[in-house]
């Protein structure tokens, strides 16, 4: 059996960078939200549990709407 990875969103960022948001279901049944950051040849992947993904989303909205 293999992990199931579903792309959710893709964002073009400043300075030719890219962010990809993925839904990952591992063979064990664990489900995570994965953030992939691409900068040239460098790739960084970070997996979040649902609680942390929600907190990060709220923090991003707060930062984006800050006066």
Residue 1 near residue 27, CB atoms below 8 Å: yes
Helix ranges restricted to H, the chain: 50-64
pLDDT digits (tens, 9 = 90+) for 24-33: 999 999 999 9
1: confidence class by pLDDT, cuts 50, 70, 90: low
Rounded to two decimals, what is the model's pTM? 0.87
pLDDT digits (tens, 9 = 90+) for 7-50: 999 999 999 999 999 999 999 999 999 999 999 999 999 999 99
């Amino acid at each position: 059996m293999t992990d199931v990875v579903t792309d959710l969103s893709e964002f073009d960022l400043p300075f030719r960078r890219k962010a990809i948001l993925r839904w990952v279901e591992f063979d064990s049944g664990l489900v995570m939200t994965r953030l992939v950051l691409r900068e040239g040849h460098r790739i960084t992947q970070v997996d979040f549990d649902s609680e942390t993904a929600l907190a990060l989303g709220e923090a991003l909205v707060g930062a984006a709407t800050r006066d």
